[in-house]
Amino acid sequence: MKKAFLSCALLLAIATAAPAAGLNLAWNNCAGDAGVQNIAFACDTNTGNRSLVCSIVLGRDIPDLVQSELVVDLVSASATLPDWWGFLTAGSCRQVSLFLFDHEGTNCPGLFAPSAVGASGAYQPGKHGLPNEARLLSVHGVLWADAVTRFAGQEYGVARWTIMNTKTVGTPSCTGCQTPVCLVFNSARFTTPTDTPVGTFLTGAANPGSNFVTWQGGAGTNCPAATPARNATWGSVKSLYR
């Protein structure tokens, strides 16, 4: 009986020590660097910006990591996506107000740092046939010769989407800055030279509620349930950059 008790205690200790794998989304910094969950912006200036930071925690060590693919979905409280959230697409109101970078923080080292990282991003309004939704996609990677080993339990910074305040006030300006929005980091996929095209998927939060953020409080969006996980296949992501 004593041996059985010790075995159970050992198993419990192992389970307790196991790292929590998952996704983190925060404004301005990664979760480990005191990123915040909500932005309340007075919408009274065209200067400045804020950043949407995607970071991850792996559940197992991954040697020879060469690529990551991230999916972030957003939904507005309005019937249609506000003009203020119109990015990248030709003719959109704020076409050149969204920029993609890699992210490296104090407590969340860059996923591929210090190698030179290539990154591509896309913004897809109405991705799921709903006029108040959009999807952010990003692919980050290094050459196979620069593959890195990453470890379970460590938070790694991956992507930083910087949103400029341009065209918020004055003429011309874009309406809808005050509209609440919910943004959810729905999935991340990681690949190595030996496991393509399948890779390793993460689809849940690293901690309760850590995979979503709100803009202007997110009221009326049913956040984060408003954007259920919809995984993008590598083929659909890759086709964006042809």
Q: What integer best gives the mean pLDDT of the chain?
A: 88
C-alpha–C-alpha distance, residues 29 and 41, integer Å: 17
12 lies in some domain: no
Structural domain count of the chain: 1
**Is residue 85 assigned to a domain?**
yes
pLDDT at 16 (0 to 100): 36
pLDDT tens figures, 26-43: 999 999 999 999 999 999
Considering only CA atoms, which of 45, 42, 39 is closest in space to residue 169?
Answer: 45
pLDDT at 218 over 80: yes
Phi/psi at 168 (5° precision): -85, -40
Task: Give the pLDDT of residue 199.
Answer: 82
Judged by DSSP in three states, 229 sits in coil
Are the CB atoms for 135 and 72 separated by under 8 Å?
yes
**Residue 13 falls inside a structural domain:** no
Each residue of 137-168: pLDDT tens digit?
999 999 999 999 999 999 999 999 999 999 99
Q: Whole-angstrom Cα distance, residue 144 to residue 131?
A: 40
In a domain, 193, yes or no: yes
pLDDT over 90 for what percent of the chain? 79
Residue 10 lies in a domain: no
Beta strands in 19-66 (DSSP E): 22-27, 38-39, 49-57, 62-65
Classify residue 109: in a domain, yes or no. Answer: yes
Whether residue 1 lies inside any domain: the answer is no
Boundaries of domain holding 197 = 18-241
Establish if 5 belongs to a structural domain.
no
What mean pLDDT comes out for the span 72-81?
97
**Which has the higher per-residue pLDDT, 6 or 79?**
79
